[in-house]
Amino acid sequence: MEKSYNFSTIKFSDLQEIVNIRPKRNLAKFEEWFSYPYPISESEISFLDNLIERHALYLFSYQEEDLKMKFLSPILNQVNFMTENFHDWYDSSISAIINGVELKGYTDFMVATGIKTPKKPFFFIQEFKPTQADKDVEDQLLAEMLVAIEKNKTTIMRGSYIIGRNWYFVIVEKIAENSFEYFVSKQFDSLELESLKQIYINLQAVKLNYCQD
């Protein structure tokens, strides 16, 4: 029986035993993504501003489900990933065998094709947690993105992880057989309007520019 790891418990050292993966610092990798010319409207800006006003005093005390339902879900619903060709999936399972090792688990949020079950994944958001916990949310996200690259037979995947009010965007690239690099963006504070506007634009860019079947 092949060795198996679950997203919820995997560590970076486990990933390194499966593939050659290393972090790289290069903020220029995000320039195309973050400069997507999405024409954010005044009504969208008002929506984001009101969201901050309603939750700024309480977000620090939110448990995981509070954070997800009260603050994050409204943003994702406003972006509206429901299209004819793909949509958003919550708590859905994906898996792949990479170098004889199975990586599997449930994703917090995924944009993918499919009707009743997800097929081709395009983007992930990992861990609706109020603070960093014992489990490393970045490692879980990386595992999911490696699975997506394997399933799609592609060389690049995008995602994001959230710790409380802070968002980080991630790009994983396959640079050679069994060899990967990943890049983490600067921190975006979702309780600051300009940062939240940029988060919103980045998500719209995913929907409009990077979800290609």
Q: Which of 16, 11, 198, 210 is nearest to 124 (CA)?
A: 210
CB 22 within 8 A of CB 183: no
pTM of the model: 0.95
Q: Is residue 194 classed as helix, strand or coil in its secondary structure?
A: helix
For CA atoms 70, 76, 82, 88, give the dihedral sign: negative
Instruction: Please count the helices (runs of H) and the strands (runs of E) in the chain.
Output: 7, 9
pLDDT in tens, 138-180: 999 999 999 999 999 999 999 999 988 999 999 999 999 999 9
pLDDT in tens, 72-88: 999 999 999 999 999 99
Q: Is residue 199 classed as helix, strand or coil in its secondary structure?
A: helix
